[in-house]
Amino acid sequence: MEKLKWLYPGMLVKRWIFLSIFGILMISMGFVIVISERTTENRAMAGLIIVLGILCVILAVKRILKSLMTVLVPAPARNEDKLVEKIYERRILERGPKIVVVGGGTGLSTLLTGLKQKTSNITAIVTVADDGGSSGRLREEFGVLPPGDIRNCLVALSDSEDLLGALFQFRFEKGTGLYGHNFGNLFITALSRVTGDFARAIKESSKVLAIMGNVLPATLQTVKLVARRENGKETIGECKIREEKDSPVERLFLLPKDCEATQESVDAIRQADAIILGPGSLYTSVMPNLLIKGIQDAIVKSKAVKLYICNIMSEIGETDDYSVSDHVGAIIEHTHPDIINYCIANVSKIPKLLYEKYKFENKFPVRFDEKDEKWFKRERIKLVKAHVAGMKAFVRHDTLKLCEVIMDVINDSKKKR
């Protein structure tokens, strides 16, 4: 009975369905004449019938699509040419490599913005150790996992209208209780309370934003990040680790130490063609995910190409005076030597004005010299030196340049296999 609803009055599809059936019958009749008749005149007539039948089918399909578009597609996107272009783009992106990106912070969302132009098979595994700002307040007041980094990734992968993305990123600048909160954070928090499941809240938010790929929390357990510093002091909480700058980080760990990875994250890593760590804060964005045993083991065992994207600038209290090899060495020391087999490092020079600005803030370009080259050769990690910095008001990775280098590495890796 459900299928018969297509024949209800006012559906604006019945006439076109019948026209398509008529066209198919004409095409069939034309081929029958071609096979059975031998005279040139009859075959010419059959060819004309086939052409007319094809035109009827094309017209009917276009009209059916237009009828459906007026109901299912928002008004600004109903342009037929744009729809065809969108469908073609989607089909091309579906053939792209399966890429898993592990991290957090603005670095991860910046990378995702570029990657979605190369493939739709993207999974972002996001840290849930954040305890500052709007996320920290919601975590404390409602007992939910911090939604901030997850929200940024959802917006970065969004294929919906710009207005919806801007809404999710909107930050309240006044209002008792609302000040400092993002609408997207509140939306995800409310949805997690309604559904009773944080993971489901993310999935439903993904549908609202029509994202390309998946965004997954690294764990569904409430975790705290702990840093033991060289002076013996322990700092608890991601926010405090960032704030305290009196002694370098010596060791990092999570509480509880035996927290479990989400099964979806482990499955995505196992199926990946490429696994990308970073870019982002070494100790507070990238490393927390790798300290989760299930994620770490899955990456180590994976046959995918494993890339680490080194930061361009040092971070006070985390990576002061670090070289490129120091970044990679810290990850290996906390995890396993087989967790990285490629490292992408920026070699673009920082303009003088920007350099002076960062120098005033005690931030410097991540060092890279001959010792680093020798270290990478010894560790059998391929070092990829590239011009991937975008330098306008800030020094950041240029997402398009970076993604081009990433895709080159993935393609070269496939050829070698």
User: Distance of alpha carbon 84 from its chain centroid, rounded?
Assistant: 24
The set of residues, in sequence order, having a beta carbon less than 8 Å from that of 235 and lying 6+ positions away, is 226, 227, 229, 241, 244
Both tokens of 287, joined, read: 């490393």
pLDDT at position 247: 84
pLDDT at position 163: 81
pLDDT at position 332: 97
pLDDT at position 225: 96
- Between CA 364 and CA 323, with CA 337 as vertex, the angle to 5 degrees is 15
d(CA 378, CA 375): 5
Both tokens of 195, joined, read: 């559904």
pLDDT at position 88: 61
Give me the tens of pLDDT residue by residue for the chain, a chain 417 residues long: 555 665 666 666 778 888 999 999 999 998 888 888 777 778 888 889 999 999 999 998 888 877 776 665 555 555 555 666 666 677 788 899 999 999 998 899 999 999 999 999 999 999 999 998 999 999 999 999 999 999 999 999 997 657 888 899 999 998 888 999 999 999 999 999 999 999 999 999 999 898 989 999 999 999 999 999 988 899 999 988 888 877 889 999 999 999 999 999 999 999 999 999 989 999 999 999 999 999 999 999 999 999 999 999 998 888 988 999 999 999 999 999 999 999 999 999 888 888 888 888 888 899 888 889 999 999 999 999 999 998 888 889 999 999 999 999 999 888 776
Q: Three-state SS string across the chain, please?
A: CCHHHHHCCCCCCHHHHHHHHHHHHHHHHHHHHHHHCCCHHHHHHHHHHHHHHHHHHHHHHHHHHHHHHHHHCCHHHCCHHHHHHHHHHHHHHHCCCCEEEEECHHHHHHHHHHHCCCCCCEEEEECCCCCCHHHHHHHHHHCCCCCHHHHHHHHHCECCCHHHHHHHHCECCCCCCCCCCEHHHHHHHHHHHHHCCHHHHHHHHHHHHCECCEEEECCCCCCEEEEEECCCCEEECHHHHHHCCCCCEEEEEEECCCCCCCHHHHHHHHHCCEEEECCCCHHHHHHHHHCCHHHHHHHHHCCCEEEEECCCECCCCCCCCCEHHHHHHHHHHHCCHHHCCEEEEECCCCCHHHHHHHHHCCCCECECCHHHHHHHHHHCCEEEEECCEEECCCEEECHHHHHHHHHHHHHHHHHHC
237-245: which pairs have CB atoms within 8 A and are 24 or more residues apart? 237/131, 238/129, 238/130, 238/131, 238/132, 238/284, 238/288, 239/130, 239/131, 239/132, 239/136, 241/283, 241/284, 241/317, 241/318, 242/132, 242/281, 242/284, 242/317, 242/318, 243/317, 244/317, 245/316, 245/317
Bridge partners (DSSP) of residue 309 are 344
Give yes or no for a cis peptide into 279 (omega within 30° of 0): yes
